[in-house]
Amino acid sequence: MVATSRKDPPAPTPAAASRRVLTRRQRENRAGLAYLSPTLIVVLVVVVLPVLWTVMLGFQRIRLINLRRAGVFGDYTLANLELVLTSPGFWSSLWTTLVYTIGATFGSILLGLIAALALRGRFRGRTFVRASVLLPYVAPVVAVTFVWESLLSPQFGLANNWGTRFLGWDRPIAFLSQREYEVSLFGWHFDVPLALLTVIVFEAWRYFPFAFLFLLARLQAVPQDLEEAARVDGAAPTQIFRHVLLPQLGAVIALLTVLRFIMTFNKFDDVYLLTGGGAGTEVVSVRVYNFLTARFDIGAASAQALVLALGLIVLLAVYLKFLAPRVEGES
Amino acid sequence: MADRAMVETRVLRVLRWVVIAGLVLVTLFPFYYMLLLSIRPIEEVLQNPGRVWAGPADWTITTYREVLTSAEDGGQGFVKFLANSALVSLAATAVTLLVSIPGAYAVSRLRFVGRKQVHFLFLAVYLFPSILLAIPLFVLFTRLGLRGSLGGLTIVYIAQTVPVSIYMLRNYLTTIPESLEEAAAVDGYSRLQTLRKIVLPLAAPAVMANALYVFMIAWNEFLFALLFLVEDRADWTVSLGLAQLSGGIEVSKTVLMAGSVVLTVPIVIIFFAAERLLTEGLTAGADKG
């Protein structure tokens, strides 16, 4: 990338002069740091330091009222961690988060893959269709959750109205506020976690465009003659997909899986806005928010967030393992 | 085998159109429904929840009037919220660009100590859970008295968008031939002059895409707005206002739908105007495999 400007610094003939005049390399170093310094300052002040502070808060008994007492030399304790790990609902909320994350990640990538395959070839109106498909991803989360709530509302929602009229439902289904829904299938009765399932479907709907974008970009980079050759040899479309396209997509799908997993794992807005964390959908981030705003228990909220972060660091390590060779290759 | 290929090709040719129609329906219908509810009177919606079409005779604009009229005049005051959202988003966009353009230039062109580590830092910031960041910032801003100020919120947005912004710009800057800059250096341009007069005009499309992207993130953001601004209605952004009002029962749903439309329309306009720019910026590098 910078190969052209790589010249050896001039040999320092007079020792005194070289001390005053900076070498080209040194000047470049200084300029680089200077140009980047605003960014570094912002990130340091608004991201890095606060995070370090969270770590400290997580090990002190702090509520908003006695915040003034909090400092670097506060009383460190493991009480928060103990409180969080033993409090009712923590483990179930971690489980909920995991189910939600895996479901939404898988759903969005699968839907994105189907969309990418369908919209790959040219047809009239493709630009319009492609742009519309991206709408769920770019539209404001508050607006789309509100529309979904209205669509699924038991009182005036379209889904329930049509369900009772055309699908023969006995009564409206409260998609977002019912924890368990009994389903009978071939004489078997079992409960599905309805609200959680609805939230997962929403998440897959909102984020499949993200997967779609990446997969489509990769699909279009697959050399045409590969597919052409397979077709000439009489391969069926599903075979071409399985043996020609899928191997090409492997890396992007792996990348998407990790990216979507991490992002969904931390997601707050969607669940909070749809259900408020009720009906068996309380994911860890919503729980942290409740600790923070309802109880003003900063210590416990921090400890909980740290548990979330710890899970994340593990995931990040996995991600870097995937990404590291790519970054090396780029720069 | 040829039979299978033929059968599959035929089936898929039909199936493809079914999938395309399904996708368009699933993605566009909620937005259509939003628009539809916003122009129907609430009594009529409650009576006929299943209608998906309304003729011009049934339309009403009272919902929009109520949502936009200021709170003093009995409305919901969304004009004020829109102004707040616009102010925060525009300020965040401007400062983010100001900070990230030199940053991206440094990362893409200059060799300096710690360049590799910077990548890691940005990646970490990008993937970091915002709820984790929310706690210390909530505490810190409470202490500094910045909670409840639009300025505080803007700072948070800047910090959250700068890393992505640098990443996007860097991808573009590396495609600009370096010989141009060397020529400028020979002509006696300083580094800053080169950046301003040579690199920036060439990178204009990327900068534009980036600006729109940052604007969209800031406009759509909800969590930090909720944490920082919830106490004073005069500070609410559109997202926050809509979320707060939709929790209650005082404001009718159709009025709030009009609010949703007001919130969504700027984003949709920006998006359709610059779709190509944005998608290329987002996936830059993804196709390198």
Q: Is the pLDDT of residue A68 over 70?
A: no
Asked if residue A64 is part of any domain, the answer here is no
* Contact partners, residue A115, CB within 8 Å, separation at least 6: A133, A208, A209, A212, A216, B19, B23
Residue B256 structure tokens: 């709030």
The confidence score (pLDDT) of residue B288 equals 40
Instruction: Give the amino acid at B225.
Output: A
Kindly list the residues from chain B whose CB atom is less than 8 angstroms away from the CB atom of residue A155.
46, 49
CB contact under 8 A, B33 and A158: yes
CB pairs under 8 A between A and B: 311
Touching check for A2 and chain B: CB below 8 Å? Answer: yes
Confidence category of residue A323, pLDDT binned at 50, 70, 90: low
Q: Which domain holds residue A119?
A: 89-294
Closest chain B residue to the Cα of A260, Cα to Cα:
B127
Asked if residue A104 is part of any domain, the answer here is yes
For the segment B249-255, the average pLDDT, to the nearest whole number, is 81
Asked if residue A79 is part of any domain, the answer here is no
pLDDT in tens, B168-205: 888 888 888 888 888 888 888 888 888 888 888 888 88
The confidence score (pLDDT) of residue B251 equals 79
Select the residue from B6, B42, B112 to test the A interface by mutation, using most A Cβ atoms within 10 A: B112
In whole angstroms, give the CA distance from residue B202 to residue A116: 31
CB contact under 8 A, B23 and A119: yes
For residue A177, with 0-12 CB atoms within 10 Å meaning exposed, 13-18 middle and 19 or more buried, which class applies?
middle
Question: Quick count: other Cβ atoms within 10 Å of Cβ A79?
Answer: 15
Kindly list the residues from chain A whose CB atom is less than 8 angstroms away from the CB atom of residue B130.
266, 268
Confidence category of residue B114, pLDDT binned at 50, 70, 90: confident
Residue B112 structure tokens: 């300096």
The C-alpha angle A222, A227, A232, rounded to 5 degrees, equals 165
CB B88 within 8 A of CB B95: no
Question: Quick count: other Cβ atoms within 10 Å of Cβ B121?
Answer: 17
Touching check for A33 and chain B: CB below 8 Å? Answer: yes
The confidence score (pLDDT) of residue A87 equals 78
The confidence score (pLDDT) of residue B2 equals 54
Q: Which residue has the higher pLDDT, A330 or B84?
A: B84
Please state the domain count of chain A. 1
Q: Is the pLDDT of residue A286 over 60?
A: yes
The 3-class SS string of chain B reads CHHHHHHHHHHHHHHHHHHHHHHHHHHHHHHHHHHHHHCCCHHHHHHCCCCCCCCHHHCCCHHHHHHHCCHHHCCCCHHHHHHHHHHHHHHHHHHHHHHHHHHHHHHHHCCCCCHHHHHHHHHHHHHCCHHHHHHHHHHHHHHHCCCCCHHHHHHHHHHHHHHHHHHHHHHHHCCCCHHHHHHHHHCCCCHHHHHHHHHHHHCHHHHHHHHHHHHHHHHHCCHHHHHHHCCCHHHCCHHHHHHHHHHCCCCCHHHHHHHHHHHHHHHHHHHHHCHHHHHHHHHCCHHHC
CB A151 within 8 A of CB B32: no
pLDDT in tens, A110-132: 999 999 999 988 888 888 888 88
Asked if residue A14 is part of any domain, the answer here is no
Asked if residue A270 is part of any domain, the answer here is yes
Instruction: Tell if the pTM clears 0.90, that is, is over it.
Output: no
Average pLDDT, chain B: 84
**Is B78-288 a CATH 1.10.10.10 domain?**
no
- What CATH number corresponds to the domain at position A115? 1.10.3720.10
Task: Tell me the nearest-neighbour CA distance from B34 into chain A, angstroms.
Answer: 6
Touching check for A157 and chain B: CB below 8 Å? Answer: yes
CB B224 within 8 A of CB B237: no
Q: Per-domain residue ranges for chain B?
A: 2-68, 78-288
CB contact under 8 A, A221 and B246: no
Confidence category of residue B215, pLDDT binned at 50, 70, 90: very high
Kindly list the residues from chain A whose CB atom is less than 8 angstroms away from the CB atom of residue B156.
46
Asked if residue A215 is part of any domain, the answer here is yes
pLDDT in tens, A213-272: 999 988 988 888 888 888 888 888 888 888 888 888 888 898 888 888 888 988 898 999
